[in-house]
Amino acid sequence: DAGVIQSPRHEVTEMGQEVTLRCKPISGHNSLFWYRQTMMRGLELLIYFNNNVPIDDSGMPEDRFSAKMPNASFSTLKIQPSEPRDSAVYFCASSLFTDNSPLHFGNGTRLTVT
Amino acid sequence: GQSLEQPSEVTAVEGAIVQINCTYQTSGFYGLSWYQQHDGGAPTFLSYNALDGLEETGRFSSFLSRSDSYGYLLLQELQMKDSASYFCASPNAGKSTFGDGTTLTVKP
């Protein structure tokens, strides 16, 4: 089991540029989550999918953020245009859709927007 | 909504026992999870309590009291490698809300 795979590990971009973060969940997991982690706000859930369908995107900060899951093995989180306050570590996690199923996190993408 | 409160920092010495508390307020509660995160790493799952009582997994144990809206993570025989952040989390309808995390520093 390769675990949840995220790319890139680090991303440095200038304000105004488009950023795309990628995630491959664990095979067989039917739920996928995008979290953002900052010192100020901790671990925040941005959006989650069940069976490739977005279930709750209430955590997406604003329209500059969008996420897709075109199939069971791939998801993207896009920020367009990016702003310095978007700098954070973005984690993707996957799980089976039950409340006692643990979240398996990827290694995260550290985004820096200058 | 959901909110989980835990201490921001705890310090203990190698070989000791430490307890990290978590109190929660939730509109719907299904159980309490615990995750460990080392600096620069990903959160990793430690335990889940759906029912009241103590769950033991090696040196780590987790406790839940629904009537008190309270849980804790107990770490025994502390090792230097246990220095990390520990998060309690409440899963609800498939998604989890996390506390702000407790940074544990283990000193020799």
Note whether A100 contacts B35, CB cutoff 8 Å: no
User: Rounded to whole angstroms, what are the CA distances from A109 to A28, A102, B13, B85?
Assistant: 23, 21, 33, 19
Query: Which pLDDT does position A1 carry in this prediction?
Result: 64
pLDDT, mean of residues B74-95? 92
Q: From the candidates B5, B96, B97, which should be mutated to test the interface with A, based on the most A CB atoms within 10 A? A: B96
Note whether A100 contacts B91, CB cutoff 8 Å: yes
Gap between the Cα atoms of A46 and A58, Å rounded: 7
Contact status of A96 with chain B (Cβ, < 8 Å)? no
Note whether A104 contacts B101, CB cutoff 8 Å: no
Query: Which pLDDT does position B28 carry in this prediction?
Result: 76
Is the distance from CB of A34 to CB of A25 less than 8 angstroms? Answer: no
Query: Which pLDDT does position A99 carry in this prediction?
Result: 62
pLDDT, mean of residues A72-90? 97
Apex A53 CA angle, A52 and A56, nearest 5 = 125
* Mean pLDDT value across chain B: 93
Phi, psi of A84 (to 5 degrees): -55, -35
Q: What's the start-to-end Cα distance of chain B, in Å? A: 40
Whole-angstrom Cα Rg for chain A? 13
pLDDT tens for each residue of B6-50: 999 999 999 999 999 999 997 778 899 999 999 989 999 999 999
- Residues of A whose CB is below 8 A from B38: none
* pLDDT at residue A6 is higher than 90: yes
Whole-angstrom Cα Rg for chain B? 13
Note whether B45 contacts A108, CB cutoff 8 Å: no
Query: Which pLDDT does position B95 carry in this prediction?
Result: 81
* pLDDT at residue A97 is higher than 90: no
Contact status of A100 with chain B (Cβ, < 8 Å)? yes
Note whether B31 contacts A100, CB cutoff 8 Å: yes
pLDDT tens for each residue of A30-69: 999 999 999 988 999 999 999 999 999 999 988 999 999 9
Amino acid identity for residue B64 in this structure: L
